[in-house]
Structure 1
């Protein structure tokens, strides 16, 4: 493979990791390009804090670089290995660092959006984010991997280090908890309107 960036964008993750194990910085740059943003998204869904999500993803990418020679494509896909690292770092952050609560006026609305539908959509997303932020760590990780990153239950269970059926039960419990919280919030809102 030549050292041109064009050659790297067509390379498989496994080939890039093999190149990273030989300290190829361009291969690592391609890994960062492919997985940096999705790592931040997954970390944010788990941590609920953009700065910590960025830190966790940078730490995960550093571990990828430092441990490139340990990656075994026979055992898992690179993406599963990477998100396992991200998830473990996030869980460590949740154990160590007190989480800052989201501000009461937290709003994810697109400032360019001027329609009421867009505003309601953004308020719903903020509401869901606050609900997910209140979930126990394991449930938050499961939601982030399955609904946020699109992993199948089997692969998410592998990343989380649990059996597929146990993750299925955890998701059921999580859905019940979210439904109960959403129902309670909606009925509380209706009580205030009456």
Structure 2
């Protein structure tokens, strides 16, 4: 088989292999990007750019520390961080003003939870989202966040504590 035909066959096989690996990860990647960027269009752009970068670097992928999913979602997270750094000038929006609730003990709604999580730092949101929403094992959370497993566990624990404190400051505990 001539060299150019072999090269084309290898590219076709790699493309099929890449498609098989990337297809189930597009939805979690979008959800991660949306959680980090909080806007639909930039999240879609981040996933598209991350997919292109993953395709370009697919030949250099080494199956280590969390596998392909962790590697790809790390690229997505880094792309989101790049987009956030690039849009420092964007307009800030204030939370809408809500009237006080009638009942003394109000139940937490999904909207309240999203708003509370949005007030946390980017790193806290990333850890909480990967672990609780995407159900990643702690090892993959650590790989995506660029941390050791022990550090990811500790930061996740502290992020949950900050989330509780943000939602209800009266429940501050002394630890």
TM range (shorter): 0.7 to 0.9
**Native 8 Å contact 2:66 2:139 kept in 1:** no
The worse-fitting range, judged by mean Cα deviation, of 29-38 and 53-62 is 29-38
Q: Which residue of 2 aligns with 1:22?
A: 11
For the aligned residue pairs, the C-alpha RMSD in angstroms reads 3.1
Residue of 39, 47, 58 corresponding to 2:29: 39
Change (3 A) 1:158 1:31: closer
Q: Secondary structure at the match of 1:22?
A: helix
* Displacement of 1:95: 2.4
Is the CA contact (8 Å cut-off) linking 2:65 and 2:140 kept in structure 1?
Answer: no
Show CA shifts across 1:64-93 (max 9, x none): 111111112255411111111111111222
Q: Secondary structure at the match of 2:62?
A: coil
Query: Gaps (5+ residues) in structure 1?
Result: 1-18, 106-119, 186-194
Judging changes above 3 Å, is the alpha-carbon distance between structure 1 residues 178 and 56 closer, same or farther for their aligned structure 2 residues? same
Could you tell me how far apart the structure 2 residues matched to 1:166 and 1:127 are?
28
Give the TM-score normalised by the residue count of structure 2: 0.73
Show the counterpart of 1:144: 129
Q: Between Structure 1 and Structure 2, how many residues are aligned?
A: 153
- My pick for the range that moved more, 94-103 or 58-67, is 94-103
Kindly indicate whether residue 148 of structure 2 is the aligned counterpart of residue 163 of structure 1: yes
Would the alpha carbon gap of residues 102 and 78 (structure 1) be closer, same or farther in structure 2, given more than 3 Å must change?
Answer: farther
Normalising by structure 1, report the TM-score: 0.66
Task: Answer whether contact 2:35 2:129 (CA < 8 A) is retained.
Answer: yes
Quote the residue 1:191 is aligned against: none
Q: 1:35 to 1:102 in 2, by over 3 A?
A: farther
State the alpha-carbon separation in 2 of the partners of residues 33 and 168 from structure 1. Answer: 29
* Superposed CA offset, 1:81-113 (max 9, x none): 1111111111222222246547639xxxxxxxx
Offset from partner CA, 1:111-158 (integer Å, 9 cap, x none): xxxxxxxxx99x822221121122111111111211121111222112
Higher relative contact order (CA 8 A, sep 6+): 2
Aligned in 2, Cα 1:63/1:131: closer, same or farther, shift over 3 Å? same
1:27 Cα offset (Å): 4.7
**Aligned residue number for residue 103 of structure 2:** none
Which residue pairs with 2:3 in the alignment? none
Secondary structure at 2:135's aligned position in 1? coil
Is 1:55 the counterpart of 2:45? The answer is yes
